[in-house]
Amino acid sequence: MTEKGTVNKPTVSPSASSSSAEVMTTYNSFIKELASRFPKVDQRLLLDIIHFQTAYKDWEGSVLLKLVYPKDSVDMNLKKDSIYKRYQRVGSIEEHRTLRLKVIRMYLEELEKLLTEDPEIEYVTGSATLTPTDAYSA
């Protein structure tokens, strides 16, 4: 990973086969597409959600979310209440601007809906896990 949510772009050596070069080009295009469609979301989180959502048809959307808001311009307790109403999960406030919570059924579509309905979110990071658990990970 490089700075805030960007994924290192793998390089292809000049001796790489045409197929591997094409795969790497397609991958890099996909990463650029993710960044343009979800500029506020950590790309690693997006890739994990997409992986679990497509590879495991019974995946329950278990995601630890960290919602970052602009410093000193948002009432975090109101955001915490709003998230509780939406997901029936109690989040914790970290560093006076980050709301952290474990969510079930956080698929790509739900993440997009959350960002659309709460434009004050500055950045989203976190981790997706294969199995639901109430324990916080990473």
- At the topology level of CATH, where does 39-128 sit? Alpha-Beta Plaits (3.30.70)
pLDDT in tens, 25-36: 999 999 999 999
Answer whether residue 5 shows pLDDT above 60: no
Q: Classify each residue of 91-108 as buried b or exposed e, where b means 16 or more C-beta atoms within 10 Å of its C-beta.
A: beeeeebbbbbbbeebbb
Answer whether residue 1 shows pLDDT above 50: no
pTM of the model: 0.80
Q: How confident is the model at residue 43 (pLDDT cuts 50, 70, 90)?
A: very high
Give span(s): CATH 3.30.70, the chain: 39-128
